[in-house]
Amino acid sequence: MSAGWNFARRPFRDDRPVFAIAALLFLFGGGLLLANLRLFASYRRQVSDVRADIAALEARQARADERAQAAKTALASYRLSTLADESRELARIVAERRFSWTALLARLERTLPSDVGIAHLQPRFEKGNEITLDMQLIGRGRESVVPTITALSRDRAFSGVELKNETAPEGASAQPYQFQLTSRYEPEAPR
């Protein structure tokens, strides 16, 4: 049955309650739609805040990982450098313990001129098992310096002989002539 626009016809139909219920349902649906839109916007806001928090935490974790890796690298290099220093120190101590004073003094006795004596002798143990001798020598006069340097330079055990200083006695006193030499010493050098 088709509804017409002729309202004067009988039987009269009253469609107002249907329209009223339809309008109420439409308003109720609109309210639900607004509530859903508000929930969706709130959800998007919360999700974006959580995403920003997650991104910030991941960036913070990446920075912490980088700092931890840098600290591990620095600690490893520090340990290596400390171990290297300790091993060099131990090698120096071993070289000091293996050093033969008897062999050095016997070699100096054979090498030095007969008019030159030793007042002070100090070996220094340096990197690479290198030994440097600091010698305070006593001679009868200034003329004993050149033969001493020549004699030490001829011996293969002594190299790089240098005169550090000389102390001449004042006037005609009975004090001997003193001079200091430094030299590198190689104990295993052939005679």
pLDDT band of 7, cuts 50, 70, 90 = low
Domain boundary among 98, 127, 162: 98
181 and 109 within one domain: yes
| Residue 74 domain flag | yes
User: What is the crossing angle of helices 101-111 and 145-154, to 10°?
Assistant: 120
Task: Label residue 10 exposed, middle or buried (CB < 10 Å: 0-12, 13-18, 19+).
Answer: exposed
pLDDT in tens, 21-75: 999 999 999 999 999 999 999 998 888 888 888 889 999 999 999 999 998 888 7
Dihedral sign (CA 181, 187, 188, 191)? positive
| Residue 106 domain flag | yes
| Residue 5 domain flag | no
pLDDT band of 187, cuts 50, 70, 90 = confident
State pTM to two decimals.
0.51
H/E stretch holding 78: helix 16-98
Domain boundary among 98, 124, 145: 98
pLDDT in tens, 135-154: 999 988 888 889 999 999 99
Q: Write down the mean pLDDT value for the chain.
A: 85
3-state secondary structure of 67: helix
| Residue 82 domain flag | yes
23 and 75 within one domain: yes
Domain boundary among 83, 98, 113: 98
The rounded percent of the chain whose pLDDT value lies above 90 is: 29
**CA 142 to CA 119: how far, in whole Å?**
16
Domain that holds residue 115: 100-185
Residue with tokens 């806001």: 45
Work out how many domains the chain is built from and give that number. 2
Those residues whose C-beta lies under 8 Å from the C-beta of residue 19, and which sit 6 or more positions away, are none
pLDDT at 1 over 60: no
180 and 142 within one domain: yes
For residues 116 and 144, is the Cβ–Cβ distance under 8 A? yes
The rounded percent of the chain whose pLDDT value lies above 70 is: 91
pLDDT band of 82, cuts 50, 70, 90 = confident
pLDDT at 14 over 70: yes
**pLDDT attached to residue 63:** 95
